[in-house]
């Protein structure tokens, strides 16, 4: 089978993994169908994120050892189980089980799909164009999330479990696609005597020994946090400034489409602006977004949030290209996962802060 077919299959997989139909109505489901309180909902959000991040590095290491195709197959199966658990969830603990399964599923996807894309391009001699293909893959993912947000309300109105049954079908399709992927050749170097020693060596290499890689990961983390914090805050902000409730879905879809558009532009922007110009644009967009949200009290102030989602789209493909270039087949997914793993301390802070104010 032609290994270059992985590229279009990974595009399709990215669209499906983010076509999360229940996400736009999940809070309503928790509150109205399961009967969860606001505090329990915040605990669920925090535990899902914690489960994902705690599994980030272990799942990345396993992906490098087992193979990226195998990791995506496993993620799809766990995703089917997680959404299936939601169809019978009727309590906090049953919803928590479903969330933990989904957190593990997304942890196995994180890093594996990007690593497989880079290895595929390396086999075809196109790795220097990785950021262009990564931008397209990110674009498909954001189009998928926007599509899920647009149709979720209609499905939920038919019957509350309808989006969840559709989601199971989506992950069955994702499993079919992941099974058809072509695995790239494994590293033929010497096998590690201890997996723990190898995992710690990869951490030391990425965060201490390789100065360029260390600063790239730290910069990517700072940029990620900058665009992550408003995700939990933008809906209360819109409610406070008087944005009509009917606009919430389209605004959410618009934010995802903004990420998609600027992900597609990331590769070209780099050739026009260069590294320093791109870094300047990142910080200008962050500064403009937060100042606008902070000082604008008008209903249209949510538009400044789009500056942060534009920054997210621009920086993702470029940062991942740097990380991929400094990695090898034996540690590629592991190092990509480290970038997410070090988000754990700020996530804990934000989670505990929101929990105290609930």
DSSP string, 223-289: HHHHHHHHHHHHHHHHHHTT--GGGHHHHHHHHHHHHHHHHHHHHHHHHHHHHHHHHHHHHHHHHHH
**Is there a domain that residue 92 lies in?**
yes
| Alpha-carbon torsion, ordered 72, 75, 79, 80, to 10 deg | 70
Q: Would 28 be classed as within a structural domain?
A: yes
How confident is residue 193, by pLDDT bands cut at 50, 70 and 90? low
Distance in angstroms (rounded) separating the CA atoms of residues 168 and 96: 18
**Among residues 129, 132, 30, 116, which one has the least CA distance to residue 75?**
116
CA torsion, ordered 41, 47, 48, 50, to nearest 10 deg: 150
Quote the tokens at residue 141. 């993912």
Nearest to 310 by CA among 241, 243, 230: 230
Q: Give 173 or 160, the one with higher predicted confidence.
A: 173
Band of residue 88 on the pLDDT scale cut at 50, 70, 90: very high
Query: What is the structure's pLDDT at 192?
Result: 60
Average pLDDT estimate for 114-137: 90
- For the cut 80, the answer to whether the pLDDT of residue 160 exceeds it is yes
C-alpha dist (Å) from residue 80 to 106, 279, 348: 12, 39, 28
Q: What is the CATH number of the domain that holds 31?
A: 1.20.1250.20
Query: Is position 188 within any domain?
Result: no
pLDDT at 269: 86
Q: Crossing angle for the helix pair 56-66 and 38-54, nearest 10 degrees? A: 40
Give percent of the chain with pLDDT exceeding 90.
31
Structure tokens that stand for 85 in this block: 């658990």
Q: How confident is the model at residue 291 (pLDDT cuts 50, 70, 90)?
A: very high
Other Cβ atoms less than 10 A from the Cβ of 335: the count is: 28
Q: Which of 250-254, 295-299, 308-312 has the highest mean pLDDT?
A: 308-312
User: What is the distance between the alpha carbons of residues 331 and 60, in angstroms, rounded to a whole number?
Assistant: 8
| Greater pLDDT, 333 or 195 | 333
| Mean pLDDT estimate for the chain | 85
Tally the domains of the chain.
Answer: 1
Higher pLDDT, 13 or 21: 13
Q: What is the pLDDT of residue 350?
A: 59
Is the pLDDT reported for residue 111 higher than 90?
A: no
Structure tokens of 8? 């279009």
Lowest mean pLDDT among 66-80, 136-150, 192-206: 192-206
Averaged pLDDT for residues 230-239:
74
Residue in this structure with the two tokens 């993912």, named with its chain if needed: 141
Alpha helices in 296-330 (DSSP H): 305-325
Q: If you write DSSP's letter for every residue of 126-137 in order, what string do you get? A: -GGGHHHHHHHH
**Packing angle of the helix pair 162-179, 5-18 (nearest 10 deg):** 160
Tokens 């020693």 belong to: 197
Cβ-proximal residues to 248 (8 Å cutoff; 6+ apart), any chain: 235, 238
* Residue 153 belongs to a domain: yes
Q: Give the pLDDT confidence score for residue 349 in this predicted structure.
A: 60
For the cut 70, the answer to whether the pLDDT of residue 71 exceeds it is yes
Enumerate the H helices of the chain as residue ranges: 5-18, 26-28, 38-54, 56-66, 68-86, 92-109, 112-124, 130-158, 162-179, 195-204, 211-240, 248-295, 305-325, 332-341, 344-357
Q: Which pLDDT band holds residue 343 (cuts at 50, 70, 90)?
A: low
State the Cα–Cα distance between residues 165 and 316, nearest whole angstrom: 31
pLDDT higher than 90, residue 177: yes
Closest CA to 224 of 112, 358, 137, 323: 323
**Domain encompassing residue 145:** 5-183+193-357
What spatial distance separates the first Cα and last Cα of the chain, rounded to whole Å? 53
292 near 280, Cβ under 8 Å?
A: no
Identify whether 231 is part of a domain. Answer: yes
**Residue 47 and residue 54 in contact, taking contact as beta carbons nearer than 8 Å:** no
């Amino acid at each position: 089978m032609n290994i270059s077919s992985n590229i279009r299959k990974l595009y399709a997989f990215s669209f499906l993994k983010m076509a999360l139909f229940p996400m736009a109505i999940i809070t309503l489901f928790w509150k109205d169908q399961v009967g969860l309180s606001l505090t329990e909902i915040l605990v669920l959000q925090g535990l899902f994120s914690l489960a994902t991040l705690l599994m980030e590095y272990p799942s990345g290491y396993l992906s490098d050892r087992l193979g990226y195709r195998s990791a995506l197959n496993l993620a799809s199966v766990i995703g089917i189980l997680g959404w299936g658990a939601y169809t019978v969830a009727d309590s906090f603990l049953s919803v928590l089980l479903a969330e933990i399964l989904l957190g593990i599923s997304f942890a196995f996807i994180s890093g594996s799909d990007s690593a497989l894309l880079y290895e595929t391009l390396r086999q075809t001699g196109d790795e220097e164009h990785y950021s262009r293909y990564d931008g397209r893959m990110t674009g498909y993912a954001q189009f998928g999330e926007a599509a899920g947000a647009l149709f979720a309300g209609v499905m939920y109105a038919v019957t509350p479990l309808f989006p969840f049954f559709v989601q199971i079908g989506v992950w069955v399709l994702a499993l079919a696609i992941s099974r058809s992927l072509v695995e790239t050749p494994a590293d033929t170097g010497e096998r590690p005597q201890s997996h723990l020693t190898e995992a710690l060596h990869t951490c030391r290499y990425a965060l201490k020994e390789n100065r360029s890689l260390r600063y790239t990961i730290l910069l990517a983390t700072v940029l990620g946090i900058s665009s992550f914090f408003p995700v939990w805050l933008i809906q209360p902000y819109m409610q406070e400034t008087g944005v009509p409730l009917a606009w919430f879905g389209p605004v959410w879809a618009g934010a995802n489409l903004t990420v998609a558009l600027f992900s597609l532009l990331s590769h070209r922007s780099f050739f026009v602006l260069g590294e320093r110009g791109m870094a300047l644009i990142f910080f200008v967009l962050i500064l403009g977004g937060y100042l606008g949200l902070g000082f604008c009290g008008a209903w249209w102030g949510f538009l400044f949030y789009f500056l942060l989602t534009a920054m997210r789209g621009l920086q993702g493909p470029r940062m991942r290209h740097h990380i991929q270039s400094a990695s090898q087949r034996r540690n590629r997914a592991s190092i990509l996962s480290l970038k997410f793993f070090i988000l754990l301390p700020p996530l804990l802070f934000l989670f505990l802060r929101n929990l105290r104010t609930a």
